[in-house]
Structure 1
């Protein structure tokens, strides 16, 4: 067989059922090798960025490696945004690029390029991959592919890239004589001995806490710890604060679940985390979206214990000014196993007063209560209604911007539903490709795609892919005729001058139903509050792809939202200071005492 045939065989043997890509001269042999196999399907997108994002989402949904292929030069560089999604969210993906033939390489010449579309994608992608390599010896193809797989999945997962010159793809090899990759030996000391002192310190501080919370992040999904996590949280019975990446793990009607927190979180969630005296963080790196800026203002009176598999994430806390009492560099499943072995439930504190306080915040500040009244569509009401119409088992994908923030504050997930987003790279244009990947993994399920009017245009060409495969994707375009998230920043810092974020500021928006019609996709519009439920019913009654254009007033903003320089308990619109102070158990910061309504 050829190298190209072996690559296709390797992908199939690793249970990858779909590979995403766009045809190009330097990748043709790879693509043809995949296409002629019956046990793997080549899905063609209309942009390599879409293919990379499809591979990223495919891995998230399938809990297996995702794969994408691109040609050399611009094809390879177009993958970069999707690779970043996998890198920052620790998603195991393999990206395969074609390269100019070795006899056309510029290596050792000092010139910029010899072969047509020659680009050194290896060095470009080195900072955003766990491993990247250019194949130089045909006999090393097995070794490099197995090494890519091992590194992509080991410890903190992530993307890998292998660059294969065009002439090597055609080389005939004997697969029985190929060199394999040997997994390196591990000399890790016994985990219980390493963390024994820290675990007993953790138990001691849990016993003494009066206002404890547990933060659950994306690491719970990455470690496939869903079942043991549920047992752990049941034993502990503490209030739960999910990050956006973990929000679909929990029943929103569970009294332990407070809500999301951070710069675009709920008021109840932010009051809870900021007034806590003890925080156990499971699989969240606590980025500035979660902590606010400066990070030192985050949960400033709480003892913090962190579980994270990446020592670099743990070590960064000192640099950014967050004190951590004890860190456990462990897989979450292993941590829970160790913890439950030494936990005595009789040592758990009585936190009934704390639970009552949290409930009062949840009752007083439900999502959307601070939004303006409009006869047209209130996005908070729309998201609530969308969640009511969605069924158990539906897969929900969101793009970035206000559409994401409104969903994260008010969408109530049902049992069996999953939510997907590129949480840390959070690029515009992610939702359509991610929805495509979801549809291929789960052809029997309904895919709900939430995307802004700006974001959809970055990969709007993938409507052709959706229509071609007749994918059961319901696309909801949150259309506020501009970039509302940018407008909110311009409100805060630039005197509401909406340059580059509005129609008057230079943007242009198409008629989305007509665009859908051009691709052969059914469409609906929602322009009033009263029509939301009826139109949603009509959308979900149709099989196949549907686009629904949801008109949101262009002055609607995310509320609450925390301005830079303020702690996350003090989001805009500012509460009256007497009301704000009544909600604070810990000492308020001076910046909060001098701003806001009197």
Structure 2
């Protein structure tokens, strides 16, 4: 059997149905084998970065391994942003790169390059993968594939990369003679829940925080059952946004620098914060770690011991466990304790009612647009957010029904993510409509993938929130750089997005008011691709917003002092 045929069959046998990539001389054997393998679909993207994000989108929807492939040299390096995104957000992806023949590789020679497009991609990506290897012997192919796939999915998920020289791809092997990889069995952990139950039983103001690890662990259902049983307020990180049933009475939304006031006030005033699968970075805690949950007991549950070693509070309780295992064991014992947080819930619900995500119910307020857009979506829709102001508006204001998903690029924060991610999601869930929400800046970064929407007739709706500027950075320039709008307003311009869509053969419409947004429902629900451009004022902002060296409850614009003091249950923060 040819090695490339073996690779194709391995992928199919391990649940991979789509491989996203771009053709090139160093991967022709592999892609030809994928093309000829029944049940395995090669999807030709228009750029390798698009392919890497598409594979990530597929993997996020299915919570299983997917594959992107690129040729050697520039093809391999074009994957790097997507690889980093998968690493920081714990997404299991296998990246396959072509490489020059082993006899053309420089190895220890002190030259820059021997073969054409020869690039040591393995060394380049090692800091942002769980495993990377160049296969130099055809007989190792089974071992390396099994090892890479196992590592991607064991423990905290993440990307892996195999670099396959051309002569290895075309080599003939006897699969009966191949040696496999002994996949280690993860140790079963018994979680000590007595302390947790005691703390919950004695708490008067607990808050549950859902991080991205809840979704990654497949724990969304049990998390929502536990939250409902406790009747306690729930907040989330950006990556945990779609793990929570948004209809829970105590769901306050996302916390942090761009979090909702109700979520930040709940976190600030709680006496117990149970944090599940979130690393609690400074975009959640603010830049004053001493102010975060300063009068609360912090409990952190995470599968990654390294994250737990990075303590937020000296006295926090750390539990290394799979979040689903933890929640299942906790749920089994909840009936042994009586909980009553009704007064606390009334307080939190008062904040929810007083501080909605939008300032005014008008088309000029992007948060209001997103709130109303939520009402036009269908129960199984998948929404993919880009990066920038659009990401924060979506995270603040989308109301997600059960069954809907929200995918976004968290740790890497890569503009241009949403369109190719939506492509991968559309292949992963062909019964769903997929929404790719982006700003005008991100829309220009991978716009070439519009061609794939048309070619494959994917029911992806591209929504461009066009304020004709890079709004997030423009706001920073106003705050810190005397409104010198270098490369955000000046030396920057977007195209006519409807004309661009038409050039690709996409249906499009330009929306300038709420009436036309409501009329777009038929376009949003149709089983065909389309582009909707929403024309916003150039000066748009994301509020509330946390400035540097402020506790998370003191966001901008500041509340009137008396109102703020009335909202605080604990004393306001004062720096030592």
TM over 0.5: yes
> How far apart are 1:413 and its partner, in Å?
1.0
CA deviation digits over 1:478-537, x for unaligned, max 9? 1010111111212221122221111xx210210000000100001101112343212x22
CA deviation digits over 1:227-246, x for unaligned, max 9? 32233223322111122222
Greater CA deviation, 560-569 or 517-526? 560-569
Residue aligning to 1:169: 169
> How far apart are 1:259 and its partner, in Å?
1.7
- Give, in whole Å, the separation in 1 of the partners of 2:91 and 2:126: 16
Residue aligning to 1:313: 307
Does the C-alpha gap of structure 1 residues 461 and 591 become closer, same or farther in structure 2, counting only changes over 3 Å?
Answer: farther
Does the C-alpha gap of structure 1 residues 216 and 541 become closer, same or farther in structure 2, counting only changes over 3 Å?
Answer: closer
One of 438, 441, 445 as aligned partner of 1:454: 441
> How far apart are 1:115 and its partner, in Å?
0.5
Residue aligning to 1:5: 5
Residue aligning to 2:402: 415
Does the C-alpha gap of structure 1 residues 16 and 271 become closer, same or farther in structure 2, counting only changes over 3 Å?
Answer: same
Residue aligning to 1:35: 35
- Give, in whole Å, the separation in 1 of the partners of 2:391 and 2:378: 19
Q: Does 1:524 align with 2:509?
A: yes
SS at match of 2:107: coil
Alpha carbons 1:521, 1:546 under 8 Å: kept: yes
Residue aligning to 1:217: 211
> How far apart are 1:378 and its partner, in Å?
2.2
Alpha carbons 1:235, 1:345 under 8 Å: kept: no
- Give, in whole Å, the separation in 1 of the partners of 2:185 and 2:421: 37
| Paired residues for 1:240-259 under 5 Å | 240-259=234-253
| Paired residues for 1:313-352 under 5 Å | 313-317=307-311, 321-348=312-339, 350-352=340-342
Residue aligning to 1:182: 182
Alpha carbons 1:377, 1:529 under 8 Å: kept: no
- Give, in whole Å, the separation in 1 of the partners of 2:373 and 2:280: 29
- Give, in whole Å, the separation in 1 of the partners of 2:263 and 2:324: 25
Greater CA deviation, 483-492 or 228-237? 228-237
Unaligned ranges ≥5, structure 2 = none
Alpha carbons 1:31, 1:42 under 8 Å: kept: yes
Aligned residues: 576
Residue aligning to 2:259: 265
Residue aligning to 2:379: 392
Q: Please identify runs of 4+ aligned residues in structure 1 that moved more than 3 A.
A: 340-347
Alpha carbons 1:377, 1:551 under 8 Å: kept: no
Unaligned ranges ≥5, structure 1 = 593-598
> How far apart are 1:578 and its partner, in Å?
1.7
> How far apart are 1:64 and its partner, in Å?
1.6
> How far apart are 1:347 and its partner, in Å?
4.0
SS at match of 2:251: coil
One of 249, 270, 276 as aligned partner of 2:270: 276
Residue aligning to 1:16: 16
| Paired residues for 1:362-511 under 5 Å | 362-369=352-359, 377-502=364-489, 505-511=490-496
> How far apart are 1:279 and its partner, in Å?
0.5
> How far apart are 1:185 and its partner, in Å?
6.1
- Give, in whole Å, the separation in 2 of the partners of 1:427 and 1:20: 19
CA deviation digits over 1:435-494, x for unaligned, max 9? 101111122221111011000111010011111111101110010101111112122211
| Paired residues for 1:82-121 under 5 Å | 82-121=82-121
Alpha carbons 2:56, 2:91 under 8 Å: kept: yes
